[in-house]
Amino acid sequence: MSARREKNFGSHKYILLGLAVLVLAVYLNGLGNDFVSDDIVWIPQNSQLGNWSWLLKFPDRMAMWVVFFIAHAVGGLSPFLYRFCNVLFHVGNVLAIYLLFNQLFRDKKLAVFVSSLFAVHPVLVESVTWIAGGSQAMYAFAFLVSFLLYVLFFQKGQKRFYFLSLAAFILAQLFSEKAVSLAAIFLVYEVVCNSLPKHWKKLLPYFALTAGAVFVQFSKVGTRISGLATQNYTEPGFYNPLIQIPIAIAEYLKLIFWPQALTLYHSELSFTSGEYLIRLVIFLVLGGAVIYAYKKSPYVFFWLSFFIVTLAPTLTPLRIAWVVAERYVYLGTLGVLAVVGLVLKKLSDLEQIRIIGYSVFALIVVLLSVRTVLRNRDWKNQDTLWLAAAKTSPSSPQNHNNLGDLYGRRGDLERSIEEFKKAIELKPGYADAYHNLGNTYQQRGGVEEAIENYQKAIEFNPNLWQSYQNLGAIYFTREEYQLAEKCFQEAIKINPTNLNLQDNLRLIQLKE
């Protein structure tokens, strides 16, 4: 390494160290949190987690499962290491953003502003503190590295950067299906640089890889829809894009600029005509800003396009994604913060108000950091998460179902019943809520009510073997052995590897 390169690295290493410390500082209080929500199914209840042969079958998000495999091999089922991996990926993203902006614009101040804001923004907590949301931070890291290497390839002319960029791009696709739109970022970059006619051949491998990824994802759409219908009771169909997209875009901008109503379930998306018009105007203003910036400000055009492109896979009219979810905007947040960083830089460049510019930046970082620390506390365990969501998502059937479980575990059966009934009221046909309501009635001694709700659960979800099991147990207790046998036989058809079901069936047959 030459003396010049050592000096160049030395000018950045303390900034990079400071950014890493900043991330660790704001996420420190979340590292000891428990497994919550999907974490539980994905890790402690996942019998395949440490199985290499399962990984060789290329499951969805295979690269994420490799990370989990390594975390499991090192730390077993302790949630700390899995969450720490997410934090490390977030650190990697923040450092990559700093290096990318410094490489693109040769502006250390702008790079610090943007990377610092990204480091502490609370809308990103869902993708960092929630283990199951970590694939967003993981694929973002692979993409940012890919894009940085692509920029370095054309600036330095070394082919190894190009091939490493392609490798990182492939890795991004293996981390998450949300990466399928990212080749368009390279295209927009070349358009902004006025170099598309010269470099278009270099883009072909990225789009070829994207085409392959899109084909794979489309082949799984049917399975995805079926799974959502069975597990989340999402009705198959289509969103109206004229309603869905403006609402989603406006809501994401709101969460970025005013991150107060953060929640796992963004269920409060029903608006009056006037409220919808406000969101439509915001969407149209954003579109107008992109068009205006195309000729007036390539920087703004690129980063606003970045925001839209990264969100594109979640804005499909197919009902295979939430209309709004904070994890979806993890990478897209960078596009908005890049524009905010530019504004702050211009303020700090004006000699008359330089102190004001730096003060505003410092204040924003402090306020966002505090909000992130507080948001980490919401994810401490399932109870804190559901109670936090109750404040912001009162019309979420999923959260009322979760609250019913919470109050049931606390022994407040009456309130538990109220919550399950509220979940069913909000989502008729919610089989899980019927099943849980049956459990609560049985716990309270209401056997007939329990039977009725288990039967309702089976009616809406014939694959809910737990309801068959619990019905069978009730019939066995009442010495109705033929009904008990039938229930356990149905349960075994659905879950044939469950040894407890088979043992119980043999016990019933001995009684007949």
User: pLDDT value at position 387?
Assistant: 97
Phi and psi, residue 318, nearest 5°:
-65, 140
The pLDDT value given to residue 50: 85
Give the residue from 327, 273, 356 showing the smallest Cα distance to 136.
327
Classify residue 411: in a domain, yes or no: no
Mean pLDDT over each residue of the chain, to the nearest integer? 92
pLDDT for residue 59: 86
Assess if residue 332 is contained within a domain.
yes
Domain tally for the chain?
Answer: 1
Q: With respect to residue 503, please indicate whether it lies within any of the assigned structural domains.
A: no
495 domain residue, yes or no: no
pLDDT at 493: 94
pLDDT at 7 (0 to 100): 46
Q: What is the pLDDT of residues 410-435, one digit of tens each?
A: 999 999 999 999 999 999 999 999 99
Using 50, 70 and 90 to split pLDDT, how confident is the model at 221?
A: low
In one-letter notation, the amino acid at residue 12 is H
pLDDT at 63 over 80: yes
Residue 464 domain-assigned (yes or no): no
Q: Output the pLDDT for position 4.
A: 43
**E strand residue ranges, 99-155:** none
pLDDT at position 5: 43
The yes-or-no verdict on residue 285 having pLDDT over 90 is yes
Nearest Cα neighbor of 241 from 311, 318, 322 is 318
Whether residue 2 is predicted with pLDDT greater than 60 in this model: the reply is no
Mean pLDDT, range 477-484, rounded to an integer: 92
Task: Decide if 11 is inside a domain.
Answer: yes
Q: Give the model's confidence band at 322: pLDDT under 50 very low, under 70 low, under 90 confident, else very high.
A: confident
> Which structure tokens are listed for 270?
């029903």
Is residue 72's pLDDT more than 70? yes
Residue with tokens 């609370």: 122
Residue 245 has pLDDT above 80, yes or no: yes
pTM here? Answer: 0.92
**Residue 85: inside a domain, yes or no?**
yes
Instruction: Tell me the per-residue pLDDT of 5-58, one tens digit each, with 9 for 90 and over.
Output: 444 545 789 999 999 999 999 999 999 999 999 999 999 999 889 888 888 888
- Percent of the chain past pLDDT 90, that is, above it, reads 82
Domain that holds residue 339: 3-383
Q: Note the helical H segments in 297-353.
A: 298-311, 332-349
- The token pair at 490 is 């149905």
Taking the mean position of all CA atoms in its chain, how far away is CA 121?
A: 15
Could you please report the per-residue DSSP string of 48-90? TTT-HHHHTT--TTHHHHHHHHHHHHHHTT-HHHHHHHHHHHH
Question: pLDDT for 126-177, tens place per residue?
Answer: 999 999 999 999 999 999 999 999 999 999 989 999 999 999 999 999 999 9
pLDDT at 234: 59
Do residues 423 and 452 touch, judged by C-beta distance below 8 A?
no
131, 35 Cβ separation under 8 angstroms: yes
Mean pLDDT of 377-393: 97
What are the φ/ψ torsions at residue 238 (nearest 5 degrees)?
Answer: -130, 145
pLDDT for residue 448 is more than 90: yes
pLDDT of 394 over the 90 cut: yes
Whether 429 maps to a domain, the answer reads: no
